[in-house]
Amino acid sequence: MQSEPFTYLPPSELVKRVRLFFVRTAWHASIMEAMWQEATQILRTLSFSLERVHLLEGAGAFELVHLAGAIARQYTWRYGFSQLVSVRGPTHIQSNLRLPPFFQGNLDSQLRSEFLLESPGPIGYFQPFEPQAEQELPAIIVLGCILRGATKHNEYLAHAVIANLAYLNLLTGIPIILGILTPDTLQQAWERVSQVREWVLTAFMTWEARLKISHLRSQLLQSPEKSS
């Protein structure tokens, strides 16, 4: 069954902001290379600067999740500050010492402390990616081919890879485009190589929708509250 053609064309101002990361498998190298050529061809059609295109290769489909996560961390983890905590006041002490009856019940109320806790280095924390005005827009396109074999290994692998890519897609705030083929035969895989063009356009389309959501949120925050 032939699917409907995907005819989306991204606006030029969006094309200038997007940065694309392609991660692909070393397995089925000829298919992966053909998909890469299709991807670069559609990007040239869009006048997209190939200086903002990065290609990374993992061994198999399972390792692509690791690479996609590593890319996303470059945008979702913040570093560069230290923490200084001051503690003052009564101190509660727990001890195995057997104290005379006179001290029992009075130890906590008699002791006070004052000290500083300082982090040994810069602190990092996770924050889903939300672009600022004119900031670049990263997108990750994951390319692989999980071919059906004599056992159910392909089913378990495809489930693990796709589920974890979906989790990263939801968690990080960075579009992660699923380009994993799951054919029964190599012939079916070759027939679907050209689909990478649609996946590239999907990256732009997703960011266009995200920016509309951000613009709508700004409008809602700026609009005066209606009086009841």
Q: What are the tens digits of pLDDT across the range 184-213?
A: 999 999 999 999 999 999 999 999 999 999
Please tell me the predicted confidence (pLDDT) of residue 74: 95
Q: Which two tokens stand for residue 117?
A: 């806790």
Please tell me the predicted confidence (pLDDT) of residue 110: 47
pLDDT tens digit sequence for 74-90: 999 987 666 666 666 66
Please tell me the predicted confidence (pLDDT) of residue 1: 44
Pairwise pLDDT comparison (138 vs 217), residue with the higher score: 138
Average pLDDT over residues 5-17: 93
Decide if pLDDT at 217 tops 60: yes
**What proportion of the chain, given as a percentage, has pLDDT over 90?**
68
Please tell me the predicted confidence (pLDDT) of residue 6: 83
Please tell me the predicted confidence (pLDDT) of residue 75: 96
**Element spanning 141, H or E:** strand 137-145
- DSSP class of residue 163 equals H
Q: Do 186 and 147 contact (CB within 8 A), yes or no?
A: yes
Average pLDDT over residues 135-139: 97
Q: Do 205 and 141 contact (CB within 8 A), yes or no?
A: no
Give the three-class secondary structure for 65: helix
Q: Do 57 and 23 contact (CB within 8 A), yes or no?
A: yes
Question: What mean pLDDT is reported for the chain?
Answer: 87
Handedness of CA 145, 66, 125, 54 (dihedral sign): negative
**Element spanning 18, H or E:** strand 18-25
- In sequence order, which residues have a C-beta less than 8 Å from that of residue 7 and are 6 or more positions away? none
Decide if pLDDT at 222 tops 90: no
Q: Give the type of residue at 213.
A: I
pLDDT tens digit sequence for 92-124: 555 555 555 555 554 444 455 666 666 777 778
Please tell me the predicted confidence (pLDDT) of residue 111: 52
Domains and CATH numbers, the chain: 12-79+131-222 (3.40.50.960), 81-93+101-124 (no CATH)
Torsional class of 137: left (φ above 0), alpha (ψ -120 to 50), beta (otherwise): beta
Average pLDDT over residues 46-54: 97
Radius of gyration of the chain (CA): 27
Backbone φ and ψ of 184, nearest 5°: -80, -30
